[in-house]
Structure 1
Amino acid sequence: MKARAVLFILIMTISPLLSACKGNEGGPKQHEALLFGATYMTRNNPYFDVLNQGIEEVVVANGDILLTRDPLQDQEKQNEQIIELIHEGISMLFLNPVDWEAVSPALDACKKAGVAVINVDTAVKDRDSVISIIETDNYQAGQICALDMMKRKKSANIVILDNPIQMSITYRSRGFTDAIAGNDNYRVVYRHAAAGEIEVASKVMEEILRKNIDFDVILGGNDPTALGALAALQQARREEGILIYGIDGSPDFKAILDMGYVTGTSAQSPKSIGRVAAETAYRYLAGEPVDKYISLPSTLITKDNLDSYEIDGWQ
């Protein structure tokens, strides 16, 4: 009698579980993970690591997979990597181009394969080839650097270290020069591409110093550029009295800003760009309308307001 009672209890315990399993046989299939691709002009800049993190957090939260590539500032290599990602079966590509124009063959390949493209941080030339562009208001980022400079100096000789093949930096430079346009007290005395990297910018600045060009303001197209210029100035013991502006709001730049060696940076939020890009991708895949262009504001960080920002992190 006792054995039968135990058997009855076991049956009553297991039966609901068996019924549940049986009921699930005809239920919806488990979500099959989608593959997303991402490629950035370089991973030598921690900015893109943070941007990628913003995308990846959304993708992983949806049970999907992000494949990331680094072309090391080589557009031909980036085009090849995009073709490889298409062959691996990606449903969507997050693209930060090395060269806004020379990326076109890869965009054509995506279109042919039915892979939609979300363009992040710096725009491609053929905007019709992408679903949406998500970036900081780069024009404003350069503009607010110029406005701060004009508050500090009644006149200035300015060096701009830009990168014409990256439209984000081009728009930053344009915002800066438009802000000083028509005022003869502010003159751009030298302009040179610096690839957006510390090492290249440092070498460019060394060349400027050898030419004995008279300047007292530097606009770096991004924070690494500005820091590369600073390194060369310090090596030559020429940093005294030079205003140095970057654009990004990176932890490295804010730490140097805290020490008083640089002047200001127009802060971006790479994580927000990544998150908005991923959310836009999912809305598109769900058949919802998405904005063709999304611009996020920039904020100037200087020594005066640095306490309001976390030095060792991105906003």
Structure 2
Amino acid sequence: MKVRTGSFFLVIGILALLTGCQGKEGGPKQHETLLFGATYMTRNNPYFDVLNQGIEEVVEANGDILLTRDPLQDQEKQNEQILELIDEGICMLFLNPVDWEAVSPALDACKEAGVAVINVDTVVKDRDSVVSIIETDNYQAGQLCALDMMKRKKSANIIILDNPIQMSITYRAQGFTDAIAGNDSYRVVYRHAAGGEIEVSSKVMEEILRANIDFDVILGGNDPTALGALAALQQARKEEGVLIYGIDGSPDFKAILDMGYVTGTSAQSPKSIGRVAAETAYRYLAGETVEKYISLPSTLITRDNLNHYEIDGWQ
């Protein structure tokens, strides 16, 4: 039987596409290029740029490609971007959701398309829909801030600037409030969502100042939130005597910490999260059993130990 050469190579090409990114059954082929997708709640926070670098380094070292998307804190847009990534042929998605619950339709679409999901930095509500979750111990991060505050002050009126749709920040706030629970000397006098961004946090802080709420401690759900609060306080010239805590260990925060304007930050290593996420993805694709939940420890950085850390970089 005579087979035309063009038809033969067309069939081979189709088969290569169909087998390009297999899961636990088969593992990836040795020499074919795999396509990965990544989407983060925002790229308006350098933390996610560094996290993405960690993933990208591992992916590119394996000769593969990472497509990255930024939904700008819009869950509907993120869901649309995930559908686009599926259409582009990704075999694995690295997901940092805008809204831990409203991302569910996109997770369903991934399941239907056979695209495995690695959940990074903040958890999704439907944990069964993801292969693995890799994040910092956010509860511990909040605890560390509270314990440091209690060493510095015998009593405090506390403002918490959180972001309820982002579970990493919710767990940080929970760790903080659990650490002070049962001690009437420490009171949370106001709590408000601040979007996890400098601009939003600054506006929220301006409203708090106009309300004449008495406080002397601020917990920002992340470093940008804490820096936004600081900006509003400085604009009003009311920063004196206020302890300000962030969570991330970002270069910007450490530089401000070195100047003495903020108190401390529970540091994360976004590059480590990215690398672990990518390595976990490759193990899964190779057919190995991977851990369902991976938690990386946090470290409190204050001015007292800042000299042990690189100011202009992440841990």
Please give the TM-score of this superposition, normalised by the length of structure 1.
0.91
SS where residue 94 of structure 2 aligns? strand
Amino acid at match of 2:173: S
Change (3 A) 1:30 1:278: closer
SS where residue 93 of structure 1 aligns? strand
- Cα shift at 1:210: 0.1
- Deviation string 1:122-146 (CA, Å, 9 cap, x unpaired) is 0000000000000000000000000
- Cα shift at 1:88: 0.2
Counterparts of 2:291 and 2:194 in 1: how far apart (Å)?
Answer: 32
Counterparts of 2:81 and 2:68 in 1: how far apart (Å)?
Answer: 10
- Cα shift at 1:69: 0.1
SS where residue 119 of structure 1 aligns? strand
Counterparts of 1:279 and 1:31 in 2: how far apart (Å)?
Answer: 18
Residues 42-121 of structure 1 mapped to structure 2, 5 A cutoff: 42-121=42-121
Q: Which residue is equivalent to 1:186?
A: 186
Q: Which residue is equivalent to 1:12?
A: none
1:274 aligns with 2:269: no
Q: Which residue is equivalent to 2:5?
A: none
1:307 aligns with 2:303: no
- Deviation string 1:157-209 (CA, Å, 9 cap, x unpaired) is 00000000000000000000000000000000000000000000000000000
Unmatched tracts of structure 2, length 5 or more: 1-28
SS where residue 238 of structure 2 aligns? coil
1:205 aligns with 2:205: yes
Counterparts of 2:61 and 2:230 in 1: how far apart (Å)?
Answer: 40
SS where residue 300 of structure 1 aligns? strand
Q: Which residue is equivalent to 1:257?
A: 257
Counterparts of 1:190 and 1:70 in 2: how far apart (Å)?
Answer: 31
Counterparts of 1:31 and 1:76 in 2: how far apart (Å)?
Answer: 36
Q: Which residue is equivalent to 1:298?
A: 298
Counterparts of 1:144 and 1:284 in 2: how far apart (Å)?
Answer: 33
Counterparts of 1:56 and 1:302 in 2: how far apart (Å)?
Answer: 31
Q: Which residue is equivalent to 1:223?
A: 223
Counterparts of 2:117 and 2:218 in 1: how far apart (Å)?
Answer: 35
1:232 aligns with 2:232: yes
Query: Which protein is bigger by CA-based radius of gyration?
Result: 1
Please give the TM-score of this superposition, normalised by the length of structure 2.
0.91
Amino acid at match of 2:75: Q
Amino acid at match of 1:265: T
Q: Which residue is equivalent to 1:4?
A: none
Amino acid at match of 1:179: A
Count of aligned positions? 287
Amino acid at match of 2:82: I
Q: Which residue is equivalent to 1:11?
A: none
Q: Which residue is equivalent to 1:15?
A: none
- Cα shift at 1:31: 1.4
- Deviation string 1:266-313 (CA, Å, 9 cap, x unpaired) is 000000000000000000000000000000000000000000000000
SS where residue 191 of structure 1 aligns? strand
- Cα shift at 1:32: 1.6
Counterparts of 1:119 and 1:194 in 2: how far apart (Å)?
Answer: 23
- Cα shift at 1:151: 0.2
Amino acid at match of 1:97: P
Counterparts of 1:98 and 1:187 in 2: how far apart (Å)?
Answer: 30
4+ runs of 1 displaced by more than 3 Å? none
- Cα shift at 1:30: 7.4
- Deviation string 1:96-144 (CA, Å, 9 cap, x unpaired) is 0000000000000000000000000000000000000000000000000
Counterparts of 2:36 and 2:65 in 1: how far apart (Å)?
Answer: 6
- Cα shift at 1:54: 0.1
Counterparts of 1:155 and 1:265 in 2: how far apart (Å)?
Answer: 20
Q: Which residue is equivalent to 2:168?
A: 168
Q: Please provide the CA RMSD for this pair.
A: 0.7
- Cα shift at 1:228: 0.1
- Cα shift at 1:235: 0.1
Unmatched tracts of structure 1, length 5 or more: 1-28
1:148 aligns with 2:112: no
